[in-house]
């Protein structure tokens, strides 16, 4: 194997990878890294060959792909091989699962910090600092994407946002985050209610719990990812929440880098991917009722065994910080 990269990455590759053949292309006017890549491929006997390219990746921008396609035109045949390595990554080894299990412990510790601090007047920034600090203190790293923590009307969001506020006497706090160890991830998701809990919030929490149970019961070797989504949809639709659920309910996790910890594939309708032992799968149940301004979420990471899923989290499904609503 050969790595073609920039000078700032040279020592990183030497210290943290198994690669011995590391080539540098120089940042300068008129630099042609795509041409340099073609020359490396030629050294490996690639002229006239059929070469696979991972196009489904954040690192290959459209501009860079056009440069590569032009440089290789007439030299060899380029084909999309985006699923080749990702399919091999789906089933984890025993060594990989050890990192995932430690990541899950760190996620539980981060959740405990959020529940400890979530109270009227608490500052979102303090909660985030404590959660990420728990991961760091436990020997973990930054996750592939930022922790998502939003309250009030923003609790309905599924993405990180700028700006932090203090929790009100009556509030809702949605958190989606992951413990990360050696870049392996274990994610969790919760919505916590601050102050009085309404009947609708209790009903939404119960529906999320039922949907998570239905997904867990479907996570058996031989079942398909699409069936997991269908179980989620049936449970939420039966509870009257069709208009407030999403069109996917989770995905595979593994060793990933920014900007995302999602390793794919996802749980969505019709996905034919088969559940197999050794997979690490994150299931998230998300309800966002924009009419009432209410959010409710539950999410856990599972390892698939020969007989079914094992939840990696030991944390209860609390509706309020401290204990109500355990499941």
Report if residue 104 sits inside a domain. yes
In this structure, are 69 and 101 located in the same domain?
Answer: no
In this structure, are 19 and 130 located in the same domain?
Answer: no
Report if residue 62 sits inside a domain. yes
In this structure, are 77 and 131 located in the same domain?
Answer: no
In this structure, are 76 and 105 located in the same domain?
Answer: no
In this structure, are 198 and 305 located in the same domain?
Answer: yes
pLDDT at 59: 84
Report if residue 324 sits inside a domain. no
Average pLDDT over residues 88-97: 96
- Reported as a pLDDT band with limits 50, 70 and 90, residue 326 is low
Average pLDDT over residues 9-34: 96
Please check the confidence at residue 290 and state whether its pLDDT lies above 90. Answer: yes
CA dihedral (201, 203, 206, 208) positive or negative: negative
Residues 185-199 have pLDDT tens digits of 999 999 999 999 999
In this structure, are 160 and 214 located in the same domain?
Answer: yes
Report if residue 6 sits inside a domain. yes
Residues 101-119 have pLDDT tens digits of 999 999 999 999 999 999 9
Report if residue 327 sits inside a domain. no
In this structure, are 83 and 131 located in the same domain?
Answer: no
In this structure, are 111 and 195 located in the same domain?
Answer: yes
Q: Which domain holds residue 154?
A: 90-311
CATH number for the domain that contains residue 6: 3.40.350.10
- Reported as a pLDDT band with limits 50, 70 and 90, residue 323 is confident
Residues 138-181 have pLDDT tens digits of 999 999 999 999 999 999 999 999 999 999 999 999 999 999 99
Please check the confidence at residue 37 and state whether its pLDDT lies above 70. Answer: yes
pLDDT at 247: 97
pLDDT at 305: 97
Report if residue 302 sits inside a domain. yes
CB–CB of 159/281 below 8 Å?
no
CB–CB of 207/288 below 8 Å?
no
- Reported as a pLDDT band with limits 50, 70 and 90, residue 133 is very high
CB–CB of 96/255 below 8 Å?
yes
State what percent of residues in the chain have pLDDT above 70.
99
Report if residue 322 sits inside a domain. no
Domain count, the chain: 2
The last residue of one of the domains, among 88, 105, 126, is 88
Cα–Cα dist 283/250, whole Å: 4
Q: Any idea how long the chain is?
A: 327
In this structure, are 64 and 129 located in the same domain?
Answer: no
Report if residue 42 sits inside a domain. yes
- Using CA atoms, how far residue 312 sits from 10, 77, 95, 206, 235, in Å, is 36, 44, 16, 21, 23
Residues 39-87 have pLDDT tens digits of 999 999 999 999 999 999 888 999 999 999 999 999 999 999 999 998 9
Helix axes 225-238, 199-218, angle to 10 degrees: 150
The last residue of one of the domains, among 88, 113, 137, is 88
The last residue of one of the domains, among 88, 106, 127, is 88
Average pLDDT over residues 249-272: 94
CATH number for the domain that contains residue 212: 3.90.230.10
Q: Could you count the other beta carbons within 10 Å of the beta carbon of residue 49?
A: 13
Average pLDDT over residues 315-320: 97
In this structure, are 168 and 266 located in the same domain?
Answer: yes
Cα–Cα dist 24/22, whole Å: 7
In this structure, are 82 and 160 located in the same domain?
Answer: no
In this structure, are 160 and 264 located in the same domain?
Answer: yes
């Amino acid at each position: 194997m050969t790595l073609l990269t920039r000078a700032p990455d040279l020592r990183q590759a030497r210290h943290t990878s198994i690669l011995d053949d590391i080539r540098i292309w120089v940042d300068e006017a008129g630099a042609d890294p795509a041409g340099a890549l073609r020359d490396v491929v030629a050294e490996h006997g690639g002229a006239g060959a059929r070469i696979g390219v991972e196009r489904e990746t954040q690192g290959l921008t459209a501009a860079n792909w056009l440069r590569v396609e032009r440089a290789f035109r007439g030299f060899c045949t380029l084909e999309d091989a985006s699923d080749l390595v990702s399919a091999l990554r789906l089933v984890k080894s025993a060594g990989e699962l050890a990192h995932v299990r430690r990541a899950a412990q760190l996620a539980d510790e981060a959740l405990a910090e959020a529940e400890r601090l979530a109270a009227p007047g608490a500052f979102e920034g303090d909660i985030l600092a404590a959660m990420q600090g728990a991961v760091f203190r436990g020997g973990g790293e930054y996750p592939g994407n930022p922790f998502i923590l939003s309250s009030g009307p923003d609790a309905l969001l599924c993405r990180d946002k700028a700006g932090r506020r203090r929790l009100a006497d009556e509030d809702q706090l949605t958190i989606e985050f992951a413990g990360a160890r050696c870049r392996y991830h274990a994610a969790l998701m919760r919505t916590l209610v601050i102050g009085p809990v309404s009947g609708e919030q209790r009903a939404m929490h119960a529906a999320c719990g039922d949907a998570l149970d239905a997904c867990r019961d479907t996570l058996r070797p031989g079942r398909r990812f699409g069936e997991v989504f269908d179980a989620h949809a049936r449970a939420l639709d039966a509870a009257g929440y069709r208009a407030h659920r999403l069109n996917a309910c989770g995905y595979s996790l593994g060793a990933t880098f920014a900007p995302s910890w999602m390793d794919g594939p996802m749980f969505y309708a019709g996905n034919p991917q088969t559940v197999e032992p050794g997979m690490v799968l994150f299931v998230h149940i998300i309800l966002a009722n924009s009419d009432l301004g209410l959010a409710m979420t539950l999410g856990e990471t599972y390892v698939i065994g020969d007989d079914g899923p094992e939840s990696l989290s030991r944390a209860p499904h609390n509706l309020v910080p401290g204990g109500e609503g355990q499941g």
